[in-house]
């Protein structure tokens, strides 16, 4: 019979522990006479479990603007609580709702604890295996592939940003250390915008977000920092306190929009049209910065001609859904602000015209002279602080390795190109076409897929196709902390450590702080870091076939972390060595809070390029012209942005998050719902050419009548997955700087009906 | 001769290793000690292992984690106060796990190991019997029945896991009764 415990029982869980039953006896050495069990005899003299906390420095490695600096409090080997580091004026002592739940995540009973093997992919029949067994099986498969194909191109890596600790590029290093392999490259996140900014300015480089306080006018465009960059909001609020106006331009009335002085609803992916309309009005009113465009830009005259010939305010208003009067108002207010700043979010570039959208917005900032100004700029992201050694990543292929004879070069937005000069190369494949590529790649086909720092079933596109693709694979190895749909489709799962169980170092693509991440607690159960897994695999490979893997067999993650630092990093952050970071995170020594403060741009001309020859080399228009958005292929537009209580599939499964976010919903406008006879709380089916999702409906006019909204998330209970509705159509840009175009995530369409 | 230490060892081993050869061995031992159970030859041990992992190990969220905190901590926090209490208790009886903080001490297998240790010690140190009784009554009995009931809900297809859970429930019930009687006799 189930025993119901009341609170009194629970409080009295273990009162006997205070009695100190046996101290005298044990001290007399009686213990030695008891046969050993699985617990070991304690060193009796040692007094443990008392005293103050050990404090460690950690850094949240999630793919998030804020990359929080964390202080962790550990007692008796247990992480009791964490807080934001007060030394960082960005983190400022506070974490987000997800971050505060970290101890629950570390100690969740749901963590993957041991290497396990699934007997029949997708059956749910799992066996616990030892690390040695797991690595032997994987190593034997690697050797078999090399024998069969004469190369290791049949082994592929699918890894992205699930853990941004710099040493985690050791996963790529592990692959290189085995030979020339297939690599899924590119990014699903932000590539179109990166290319756009590179064409316009020669780099993606944003102002210090802490200088939002200096802005007199702020446009948050296509982003929702109130959910996804909560630490930046305090600087925006401060600017508002000082008199700045906050305008939010977004197809959705987001939480950030709710905090704005003005919310402007734009038609999805018509951001570029809106920006061009604003630019036209600014030209008409001669509100542009004549000095900037003359001295620091190239092609402004051509841009003006383009606007005059092709763009009218009325046309832009009609196309963007923003009334002409309002369009003129926001254009004027922005142009007159001294300074005005734009935050270009990642949502607005996840389109077939996404890069064009960003280029149009960049142009708006440039023509008003806001680029290079403190409190100004067009903020997208930066990689100024990422100058590490990438020691873990740069590994040499074993002697005699054979690879791809094509000209593929691995390009990544975060790291310098891998130099080789070798005859052979890795085979690169667009990360955003994972399913299609697994199905179609041949000579050799992809036989073994290694997944790390990523949950492709939760995040990649066209889930039904991905399911088929996985069926084609001979072996799938997934390294993860929690069970999810990708693990469900794996043969072997290897348990990975959390940030508190390893050393690494982290920086942000948004703020300018540097934090070390110390190992605060032991690895849980048999979890190992990506680096340790590489080291163990290397040992096993060499046992089975001497010289078959060059990855250093270093198990101490601290050693790996130390090897990432260099003089450049020390100088940039004004520290003598990495140990200085033990006393807290450090901020880069910036000559100005503004990017491009000297207005020396990194373009071929050294100027801001309204007219970019480089863009034409990559198949785009020279000028930031209007690009027609994707044609609707179904009745409603489906938007699948990020959720508040998770980051992709991370955190959503943690019980503290479930308290707030129990189940998924589809959000639909009441007028559209009425036409479909859908009431609030009805179970509905959302369906399109890709697949379908059955989910509960919520009615809200936060979304437009032609839009349905479903947050991208993974719930451990149920099979909700928005990737059943998202195809893998490419965005316009991304190939230049990230190796592959992005994905038109928000150019998706579906119909909806009562389930 | 008191079979209890051997029963405790068998329970411990059944829950500790999570591989079919250990499950089988521990099951045979428990069956012989309790004069019950099915013919081990007729049991599909792969299926038992799959069930065991679904219930207690993973990689899916285990349906009935074999950790006291899940049932006793007000928020179900592992490595919280309950784990700390058990760690302290182990210390008071001279035991510890290999690496403090790497796994919760209030896992079922460790708790059985501690029980076994106390029983063996009791012949030499009378206070150990008192500690054993208190541990059963004031801790094990508070969570194992709920754990066992939760696990039983999900192991219809199993023979061995189901049998062991039933034996476990009976054992806790008996042991709680016995230790109470022992105390009353005194």
A650, part of any domain: yes
- β-pairing, A78-84 vs A69-75, is antiparallel
Q: Does B81 touch chain A (CB under 8 A)?
A: yes
Residue of A nearest to B131 (CA): A21
Contact flag A13-B72 (C-beta cutoff 8 Å): yes
Please indicate, yes or no, whether residues A266 and A293 belong to a single structural domain of this protein: yes
Check: CB of residue A470 under 8 Å from CB of residue A179: no
Segment 87-106 of chain A within 8 Å of chain B by CB: 103-104, 106
CATH number of the domain that residue A219 is part of: 3.40.228.10
A351, part of any domain: yes
Residue B24 burial by CB count (10 A; 0-12/13-18/19+): exposed, middle or buried?
middle
Model pLDDT, residue A11: 38
Would you kindly state where each structural domain of chain B is located, as residue ranges? 4-185
Please indicate, yes or no, whether residues A257 and A349 belong to a single structural domain of this protein: yes
Contact flag B18-A78 (C-beta cutoff 8 Å): no
Please indicate, yes or no, whether residues A127 and A163 belong to a single structural domain of this protein: yes
Per-residue pLDDT reduced to its tens digit, B93-149: 989 999 999 999 999 999 999 999 999 999 888 889 999 999 999 999 999 999 999
Please indicate, yes or no, whether residues A374 and A491 belong to a single structural domain of this protein: no
Name residues whose C-beta falls within 8 Å of residue A18's C-beta, 6 or more positions apart in sequence.
B88
Residues of A in contact with B141 (CB under 8 A): 3
Q: Chain B closest CA to A84's CA: distance in Å?
A: 21
Please indicate, yes or no, whether residues A481 and A367 belong to a single structural domain of this protein: no
Please indicate, yes or no, whether residues A436 and A373 belong to a single structural domain of this protein: no
A512, part of any domain: no
Please indicate, yes or no, whether residues A231 and A364 belong to a single structural domain of this protein: yes
Q: Which of A346, A380, A414 is the last residue of a domain?
A: A380
Determine the residue among A12, A14, A125, A525 to mutate to test chain B binding: the one whose Cβ has the most chain B Cβ atoms within 10 Å. Answer: A14
Model pLDDT, residue A22: 54
Structure tokens at A392: 């873990």
Q: Does B125 touch chain A (CB under 8 A)?
A: yes
- Across the interface, of A3, A26, A483, the residue whose CB is closest to B94 is A26
Count of domains for chain A = 3
**Confidence (pTM):** 0.94
Q: Which of A361, A380, A399 is the last residue of a domain?
A: A380
Residues of chain A with pLDDT under 70: 1-34, 41-51, 407-410, 415-422
- Across the interface, of B49, B89, B145, the residue whose CB is closest to A17 is B89
Structure tokens at A692: 């379908």
Average pLDDT taken over every residue of chain B: 92
Task: Convert B121-139 to b/e letters by CB count within 10 Å (16 or more is b).
Answer: bbeebebbbbbbbbbbbbb
Give all strands (DSSP E) within A459-607, no chain letters. Answer: 475-480, 492-495, 504-507, 513-517, 586-587
Q: 3-state SS string over A332-367?
A: HHHHHCCCEEEEECCHHHCCCCHHHHHHHHHHHHHH
Please indicate, yes or no, whether residues A362 and A245 belong to a single structural domain of this protein: yes
Q: Which of A317, A349, A380 is the last residue of a domain?
A: A380
Structure tokens at A286: 């001669």
Q: Chain A closest CA to B146's CA: distance in Å?
A: 5
Residues of A in contact with B74 (CB under 8 A): 7, 10
Residues of A in contact with B61 (CB under 8 A): 109-110, 482-483, 653, 716
Model pLDDT, residue A8: 37
Segment 473-502 of chain A within 8 Å of chain B by CB: 482-483, 487, 493, 495
A20, part of any domain: no
A686: left (phi over 0), alpha (psi -120 to 50) or beta: beta
Structure tokens at A72: 């962790």
Residue A590 has phi, psi (to 5 degrees) of -95, 135
The yes/no answer to whether this complex scores an ipTM above 0.85 is: yes
Residue of A nearest to B103 (CA): A525
Q: Does A130 touch chain B (CB under 8 A)?
A: no
Distance CA A454, CA A473 (A): 17
Model pLDDT, residue A472: 98
Distance CA B151, CA B51 (A): 10
A607, part of any domain: no
Q: Chain B closest CA to A453's CA: distance in Å?
A: 17
Q: Can you give the residue range of the structural domain that contains A689?
A: 636-754
Distance CA A74, CA A108 (A): 17
Per-residue pLDDT reduced to its tens digit, A649-664: 999 999 999 999 999 9
Name residues whose C-beta falls within 8 Å of residue B155's C-beta, 6 or more positions apart in sequence.
B51, B55, B161, B162, B165
Residues of B in contact with A482 (CB under 8 A): 61
Please indicate, yes or no, whether residues A237 and A287 belong to a single structural domain of this protein: yes
Segment 668-727 of chain A within 8 Å of chain B by CB: 716
A40, part of any domain: no
Please indicate, yes or no, whether residues A168 and A306 belong to a single structural domain of this protein: no
Nearest by Cα to A413 from A65, A741, A64, A746: A741
Residues of A in contact with B82 (CB under 8 A): 13-14
Model pLDDT, residue A177: 98
Please indicate, yes or no, whether residues A261 and A284 belong to a single structural domain of this protein: yes
- Across the interface, of A13, A44, A78, the residue whose CB is closest to B139 is A13
Model pLDDT, residue B2: 82
Residue of A nearest to B148 (CA): A2
CATH number of the domain that residue A477 is part of: 3.40.50.740
Please indicate, yes or no, whether residues A447 and A549 belong to a single structural domain of this protein: yes
**Range B4-185: architecture per CATH:** Orthogonal Bundle (1.10)
Residue A580 burial by CB count (10 A; 0-12/13-18/19+): exposed, middle or buried?
middle
Q: Does A47 touch chain B (CB under 8 A)?
A: no
Check: CB of residue A669 under 8 Å from CB of residue A703: yes
């Amino acid at each position: 019979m189930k025993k119901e415990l009341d609170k009194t029982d629970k409080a009295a869980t273990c009162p006997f522990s205070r009695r100190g039953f046996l101290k005298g006896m044990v001290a007399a050495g009686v213990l030695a006479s008891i046969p050993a069990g699985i617990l070991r005899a304690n060193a009796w003299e040692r007094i443990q479990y008392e005293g103050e906390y050990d404090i460690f420095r950690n850094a949240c490695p999630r793919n998030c603007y804020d990359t929080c600096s964390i202080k962790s409090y550990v007692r008796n080997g247990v992480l009791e609580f964490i807080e934001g580091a007060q030394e960082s004026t960005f983190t400022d002592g506070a974490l987000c709702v997800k971050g505060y739940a970290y101890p629950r995540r570390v100690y969740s009973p749901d963590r993957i604890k041991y290497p396990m093997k699934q007997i029949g992919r997708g059956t749910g029949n799992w066996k616990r295996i030892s690390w040695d067994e797991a690595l032997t099986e994987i190593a034997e498969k690697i050797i078999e592939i090399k024998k069969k194909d004469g190369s290791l191109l049949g082994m592929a890596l699918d890894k992205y940003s699930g853990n941004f600790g710099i040493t985690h590029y050791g996963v790529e290093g592990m692959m290189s250390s085995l030979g020339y392999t297939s690599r899924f490259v590119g990014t699903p996140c932000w590539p179109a915008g990166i290319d756009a900014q590179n064409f316009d300015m020669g780099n993606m480089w944003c102002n210090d977000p802490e200088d939002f306080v200096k802005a007199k006018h702020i446009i948050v465009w296509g982003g929702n920092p109130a959910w996804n960059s909560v630490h930046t909001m305090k600087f925006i609020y401060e600017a508002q306190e000082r008199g700045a106006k906050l305008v939010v331009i977004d197809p959705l009335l987001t939480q950030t929009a709710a905090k704005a002085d003005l919310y402007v609803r734009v038609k999805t992916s018509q951001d570029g049209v809106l920006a061009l309309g604003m630019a036209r009005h600014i030209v008409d009113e001669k509100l542009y910065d004549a000095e900037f465009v003359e001295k620091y830009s190239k092609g402004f005259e051509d841009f003006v001609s383009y606007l005059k010939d092709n763009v009218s305010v009325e046309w832009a208003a009609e196309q963007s859904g923003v009334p002409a009067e309002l369009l003129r108002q926001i254009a004027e207010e922005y142009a007159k602000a001294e300074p005005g700043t734009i935050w270009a979010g990642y949502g607005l570039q996840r389109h077939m015209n996404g890069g064009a959208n960003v280029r149009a917005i960049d142009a708006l900032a440039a023509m008003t002279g806001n680029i290079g100004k403190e409190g100004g700029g067009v903020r997208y992201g930066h990689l100024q602080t990422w100058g590490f050694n990438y020691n873990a990543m740069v590994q040499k292929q074993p002697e005699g390795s054979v690879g791809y004879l094509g000209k593929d070069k691995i390009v990544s937005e975060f790291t310098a190109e891998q130099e080789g000069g070798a005859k052979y190369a890795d085979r690169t494949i667009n990360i955003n076409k994972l399913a299609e590529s697994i199905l179609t790649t041949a000579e050799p086909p992809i036989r073994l897929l290694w997944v790390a720092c990523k949950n492709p079933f939760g995040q990649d596109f066209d889930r039904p196709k991905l399911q088929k693709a996985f069926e084609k694979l001979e072996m799938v190895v997934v390294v993860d902390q929690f069970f999810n749909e990708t693990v469900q489709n794996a043969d072997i799962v290897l348990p990975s450590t959390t940030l508190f169980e390893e050393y690494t170092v982290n920086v942000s693509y948004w703020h300018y702080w540097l934090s070390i991440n110390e190992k605060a607690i032991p690895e849980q159960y048999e979890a190992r870091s990506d680096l340790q897994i590489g080291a163990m695999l290397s040992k096993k490979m060499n046992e089975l076939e001497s010289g078959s893997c060059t990855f250093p067999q270093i198990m101490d993650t601290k050693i790996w972390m130390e090897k990432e630092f260099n003089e450049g990093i020390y100088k940039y952050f004004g520290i003598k060595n990495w140990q200085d970071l033990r006393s807290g995170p450090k901020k880069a020594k910036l000559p100005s809070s503004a990017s491009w403060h000297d207005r020396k741009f990194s373009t071929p001309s050294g100027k801001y390029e309204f007219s970019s020859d480089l863009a034409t080399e990559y198949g785009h228009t020279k000028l930031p012209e209007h690009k027609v958005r994707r044609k609707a292929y179904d009745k409603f537009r489906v938007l699948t942005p990020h959720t508040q209580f998770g980051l992709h599939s991370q955190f959503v499964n943690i019980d503290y998050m479930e308290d707030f976010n129990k189940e998924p919903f589809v959000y639909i406008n009441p007028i559209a719902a009425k036409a479909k006879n859908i009431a609030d709380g009805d179970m509905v089916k959302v369906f399109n050419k890709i697949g379908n999702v059955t989910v509960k409906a919520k009615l809200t006019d936060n979304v437009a009548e032609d839009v349905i909204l479903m947050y991208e998330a993974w719930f451990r209970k149920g099979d909700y997955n928005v990737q059943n509705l998202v195809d893998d159509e490419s965005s316009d840009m991304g190939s230049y700087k990230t190796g592959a175009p992005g994905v038109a995530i928000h150019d998706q369409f579906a119909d909806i009906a009562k389930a | 001769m008191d079979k209890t230490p051997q029963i405790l060892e068998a329970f411990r081993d059944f829950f500790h290793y999570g591989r079919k050869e250990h499950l089988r061995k521990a099951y045979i031992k428990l069956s012989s000690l309790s004069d019950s159970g099915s013919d081990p030859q007729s049991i599909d041990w792969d299926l038992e292992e799959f069930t065991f992992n679904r219930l207690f190990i993973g990689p899916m969220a285990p349906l009935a984690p074999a950790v006291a905190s899940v049932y006793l901590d007000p928020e179900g926090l592992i490595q919280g106060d309950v784990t700390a209490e058990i760690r302290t208790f182990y210390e008071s009886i001279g035991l510890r796990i290999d690496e403090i903080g790497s796994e919760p001490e209030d896992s079922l297998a460790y708790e059985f190991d501690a029980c076994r240790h106390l029983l063996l010690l009791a012949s030499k140190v009378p206070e150990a019997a008192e500690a054993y009784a208190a541990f059963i009554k004031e801790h094990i009995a508070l969570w194992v029945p709920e754990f066992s009931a939760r696990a039983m809900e999900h192991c219809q297809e199993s023979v061995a896991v189901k049998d062991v859970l039933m034996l476990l429930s009976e054992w806790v019930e008996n042991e709680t009764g016995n230790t109470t009687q022992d105390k009353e006799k005194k």
